[in-house]
Structure 1
Amino acid sequence: MAADKSTKKLPTGVRKKSENSYEVRVKHDGKTYYAYASTITEAKKKRVDLKYQLTHGTYIKPASYTFGQWFEFWMENYKENSVKRGTCVTYWNYYNASVKERFGDVKLDKIHGEDIQMFYNELVKKGSRSATIKVIKAFMSGAFKQAVKNGIIARNPFDATNFPTKTKAEKKRKAMTKEEQALFMEYAKESYLYNLFAVMLRTGMRCGEIRGLRWGDIDKKEHVIHVRRTLKYINGEGYVADAPKTKTSFRDIPLTQDLIGLLDNQKNYWNFKVEKIDRYLFCNVDGDPLDSQAVQVEINRIINRIRAAGNEFERITPHVFRHTFATRALEAGMEPQILKAILGHSSIAMTMDLYSHVLPDSKAEEMKKIVSVF
């Protein structure tokens, strides 16, 4: 039997490569075949599996997988039944847009840490946002991690990389000032999406979440809005209801009297028949799901009217309404922990990281309170 440096005996055909890496060797028809594992127990199982595959002719040579082939196999067998449908769609979209051309035809065992690091740098040079690069890292590293578990490759190339920090060109989270907010809503009064904009500013809901609201989600008895779904676009199917972004995105938002008035107005806006009472609350004139692009088009139209009147106004996206709500909430003294729950963030650290820039003035005011103690 082989032995590691601590003199602990290892099973036949298993050799320790590093602290958490074991090499499995099986001889068959005069050739030696290899697999890799992170524990002795896993190595023993992989050796049994490898021997079985070689004996029964089901062995697939690891190097025969390109990243594209493995990614497709990984998505179908490991992801489609374990993550949201919308997440799978997002992974495929990013793969086709940014990864396929670069790594799709490259063998798994030929992709090294330096290749991934150069890919990071290429994405940064192209102007990709940190959030975009994080998504790409998530699914690529996940696919490689599974390949390591399956003994197809020895190590995950992402382990030898450094994730790029935010570039100087990457702007801080944009939020409207109080003056901009008031100006926008003044010019939005005649818009068919006025109620949507007003509710977003009062709840911080994501655009997909508010477009996925149904009247049944408005719970006047408990005085909350139940956030239970988001709208996701699926090629060939259009907009479909999907689970919210994360587990903490399932949440209840307090229902104020102001919100009740806006939501009641929206319920009756299109004068739909009773049979469509469970339609999406914010929809188009036919009662169909509201397109995210239609929201952006309406925002642009309102901004053009503001500019035509001689006012300066930067371009904004629907997500700016969420940031504006969070900014106003902190300015008004809302506790970050409460804001985290309303926004549906997964951690208080995320909330503070995104909105800590709002707090300097608040911190100064809080420090003044301690003066009376001395």
Structure 2
Amino acid sequence: MGKMRTGERKRPGGGYEKRFTIKGVRYSVYAERKEDLQAKEDEKRAQIKAGIYHTNETITLNQYFDEWIEGKALSVRPITVYLYQRLFRKFIRRTLGRHKVRTLERRQIVAMMNHVADTAGIATANKVHTLIGSILKGAMADDIIQRNVATGIHAIKQKGLPARETIHRELTDSEIEKAFSMLKGSLYYTAYRFLLNTGTRAGECAALQWKDVDRTHNIIHIRRTMTKDKAGKWILGETAKTKTSVRDIPMNQTVREIIDYQWNLYRDLKGIISPCDFVFPSSTGGHTNTTALEGSLRAAIRKYNKESPVIMKFFSVHAFRDTFASRAIRAGVPPNTLKEILGHASLSMTMDLYAHVSQSDKRQAMEMLQDVSF
């Protein structure tokens, strides 16, 4: 790598940036390779000279976002770029996008957040707030604005039950029995069993290949997850969700039976198993994804509710992970060991989100304390 020229720098998250000034106004260009920076600068200088480039005084939020996301794409995962673009397109582009960045006011952002909360939910509104805050932080770095008006805006507080009782919840024995009675014959029946018995994420299960399964030493290697590219298309990721998500999970007898079933099924269908074949493939033999797993599960629950007088509450694929974690704690698995199995970065995440406590758990705990009561 050659020596950096004036204004050039290597970005912490990846790629390169070059800053230059024209008539007191600072501009930035971005590139994956340092060698491409000069061409990028020449292109932008030509646009400025021709009068087709927007200055700091006139640039709108829409125009600046298109520049900002180009630089951001060098330091974040493609799925993050996709999510940023989707959030901006759906909630910001038509509402605040036409405003000049320099004229944005705090109350405009608050009004937009409240509207998003009413139409798409509080969690989405807070994500939009985080995004626009990041965009304006970039605008400060580019000397477009002197103050980030989104900084002083507080996130909207969630109402009702905590996430551990809604999004994250443990399934009852009855729910599991009913769900799997409808899932029999489903393409992903064994995948759901695998999720329930290992606590893996749906994306990790979908990305699992036979080269990740050590049948000799009874170990599952979690190395990748399904993700999305910039266009929102599902692809096999090169890495796991986070650094701590890379882990090994020992197979107990139940998990081994699930793996052996898939192995024999696959061998009978294909004859030869390639290390890069997926353990839980789609109907075409390629990789599946979280959307497909969610859709198949919801279809099974809908079918049950049509045929049964007792309605079963819908739940997501993630509930299998919740159930595994809660039952592991109840079975006496040390929390720190469970953290490693789940691939969490912190113990608090494991305990706060996934270790659900039932009424019977609390009653049993109080009975255990009877002998030490005053």
* TM-score normalized by the length of structure 2: 0.75
Q: Name the CA distance, whole Å, in 1 between partners of 2:114 and 2:297.
A: 34
Partner residue in 1 for 2:128 = 136
* Aligned 8 A contact 1:330 1:358 in 2: no
- Tell me by how many angstroms 1:210 deviates: 0.7
Higher Cα Rg: structure 1 or 2?
Answer: 1
The letter for the 1-side match of 2:279 is L
Q: Judging changes above 3 Å, is the alpha-carbon distance between structure 1 residues 204 and 135 closer, same or farther for their aligned structure 2 residues?
A: farther
User: Unmatched 5+ residue regions in structure 1?
Assistant: 1-25, 36-52
Contact 2:26 2:142 in 1 (8 A): no
Q: Deviation digits for residues 135-155 of structure 1, max 9, x if unmatched?
A: 333332222212222322112
Which residue number corresponds to residue 80 of structure 1?
73
Q: Which residue of 2 aligns with 1:346?
A: 345
Pair 1:306–1:136, CA change in 2 (3 A): same
- Structure 2 CA distance for aligned equivalents of residues 304 and 175 of structure 1: 20
Partner amino acid, structure 1, of 2:332 = G
Aligned residue for 1:191?
Answer: 186
Q: CA deviation at 1:180?
A: 0.9
Which letter does structure 1 place at the counterpart of 2:282? N
Q: Secondary structure at the match of 2:204?
A: helix
Tell me the distance in 1 between the aligned counterparts of 2:253 and 2:179.
22
2:270 aligned partner: 272
The 5-angstrom pairing of residues 109-258 of structure 1 reads 109-130=102-123, 132-168=124-160, 172=166, 173-234=168-229, 238-242=233-237, 243-258=239-254
Confirm or deny: 8 A CA contact 1:91 1:135 kept in the other structure. Answer: no
Q: Where do 1:85-124 residues align within 5 Å?
A: 85-124=78-117
TM-score, length-scaled by structure 1: 0.75
Contact between 2:200 and 2:342, CA under 8 Å: does it hold in 1?
A: yes
2:265 counterpart SS class: coil
Counterpart residue type for residue 66 of structure 1? T
Aligned to 2:41: none
In 2, are the aligned partners of 1:187 and 1:305 still within 8 Å (CA)? yes
Distance in 1 (CA, whole Å) between partners of 2:345 and 2:330 is 22
Shift of 1:351: 2.7
Give the residue type in structure 2 aligned to 1:329. Answer: A
Q: SS of 2:220's equivalent? A: strand
Distance 1:305 1:160, change over 3 A: closer
Q: Which runs of 5+ in 2 are unaligned?
A: 1-20, 28-44
Q: Considering only aligned residues, what root-mean-square deviation do their CA atoms show, in Å?
A: 3.3
Q: Aligned partners of 2:114 and 2:331: how far apart in 1?
A: 40
Partner of 1:39: none
Distance 1:33 1:277 in 2: 55
The answer as to whether partners of 1:113 and 1:157 remain within 8 angstroms in 2 is: yes
Report how many residues are paired: 324
Shift, 1:339, TM fit: 2.8
- Over the matched positions of the two proteins, sequence identity in percent amounts to 27
- Aligned residue for 2:322, secondary structure, equals helix
1:288 equivalenced with 2:286 (yes/no): yes
